[in-house]
Amino acid sequence: MLPLKDKVALITGSSRGIGNAIARKCALAGADVVINYRKAGGSSQEQAEQLCKEIEGMGRSALMVQADIAAKDSVKKLFSETAGRFGRLDFLILNAAKAPFKPVEKLFERELRQLVETNYLGNIFCIQESVPLLAKSGGRIVFISSLGSRFYNPAYPLGSMKAAMESVVRDCAESLRHKKILVNAVCGGIVRTDSFKILRQYWENIDMLPDELFVEPDEIADATVFLCAPESRGITGQTLVVDRGLSNSLFRAVSNP
Ligand SMILES: NC(=O)c1ccc[n+]([C@@H]2O[C@H](COP(=O)([O-])OP(=O)(O)OC[C@H]3O[C@@H](n4cnc5c(N)ncnc54)[C@H](OP(=O)(O)O)[C@@H]3O)[C@@H](O)[C@H]2O)c1
């Protein structure tokens, strides 16, 4: 009934959007949860505080940690606070992402650095810091990817980082196998979150996409919980696509039934 009972899940970037849904679903599945966000003192922090209260209301423990995954010291603090509070970590969910929406050839140097530092280096810093804890529990790592890892979108340079991370997932699945850590990804379709509100301004004809092809945050969260649960013990190095069939129907006219 509670597949993640007595376990601890850390979800990067979980104050809002998909990360928030994953944190809530992990708690509903029985886990204690570490909620991470980047911006102190704003609405992101308020949403993280609200989520903490909700999770505690479910009878689980929640720890809120402000940390920027792009900064190694900040990542060290995230994991040392987790270990200090819970003494263990079972699931690392790499959800945080931030990137400008413009073609890759138009990125300023500072945008390029932010793209790589948050979405590639930041995730790897988290993996590195988590390994000693996950090795003790035979834990799991789940990376949240997107269809940009495999399909062109003119205003989505984040796609190249997602592709790189799906490759890191395959690498780590092998290199961490002897530590009994399973590493997988969930590749989400299009989800109406804060970041999508910005992306849609640059995406011609996105409004023609039928409603039923938009994915709910909870659908990504359910797949993530599955990849943490005992039932997925035979899966590692894989990317599970959760897009309501969008990528399977890319060449069909939008108006077709
Ligand atoms: N929306 C979609 O259509 C879609 C589809 C497939 C996959 N995804 C992926 O799902 C994940 C979540 O997307 P979303 O749309 O829910 O994003 P979102 O609404 O923009 O939320 C992003 C979260 O990440 C945090 N964050 C950003 N940079 C961070 C950093 N350097 N360190 C720590 N936390 C950081 C943010 O915290 P602050 O608010 O404090 O900055 C926020 O909590 C991303 O990996 C995204 O690529 C999204």
Between the CA of 93 and the centroid of ligand 1 the distance, in Å, is: 12
List C-alpha distances in Å: 221 to 43, 143, 208, 224.
22, 12, 26, 5
Atom of ligand 1 nearest to the CA of 42: 40
Nearest CA to ligand 1 atom 25: 13
The domain locations on the chain are 8-242
Contacts of 174-181 with CB under 8 Å at 24 or more apart are 174/237, 176/131, 176/134, 176/135, 176/141, 177/236, 179/131, 179/134, 179/135, 180/135, 180/138, 181/131, 181/134, 181/135, 181/138, 181/139, 181/140, 181/141
**Residuewise pLDDT in 10s, the chain (257 residues):** 899 999 999 999 999 999 999 999 999 999 999 999 999 999 999 999 999 999 999 999 999 999 999 999 999 999 999 999 999 999 999 999 999 999 999 999 999 999 999 999 999 999 999 999 999 999 999 999 999 999 988 889 999 999 999 999 999 999 999 999 999 999 999 999 988 888 888 877 888 888 999 999 999 999 999 999 999 999 999 999 999 999 998 666 555 55
As a CATH number, domain 8-242 is 3.40.50.720
Q: Is any atom of ligand 1 closer than 6 Å to the C-beta of 119?
A: no
Phi, psi of 64 (to 5 degrees): -105, 125
Q: Is 23 in the pocket of ligand 1 (CB under 6 A)?
A: no
Please name every residue paired with 9 in a beta bridge, in sequence order, or none if there are none: 33, 91
CB of 97 within 6 A of ligand 1: the answer is: yes
Which of 11, 37, 117 maximizes ligand 1 atoms within 8 Å of its Cβ, making it the mutation to test the pocket? 37
* Any atom of ligand 1 within 6 Å of the Cβ of 82: no
Is 72 near ligand 1, meaning CB less than 6 Å away? no
Compute the distance from residue 193 Cα to the ligand 1 centre, in Å.
9
CA of 31 to the centre of ligand 1 (A): 21
- Residue 187, amino acid: C
Q: Nearest residue CA, atom 13 of ligand 1?
A: 18
Tell me the catalytic residues: 156, 162
**125 CA distance to ligand 1 centroid (A)?**
17
Q: Is 16 in the pocket of ligand 1 (CB under 6 A)?
A: yes
Q: Is 21 in the pocket of ligand 1 (CB under 6 A)?
A: no
pTM of the model: 0.97
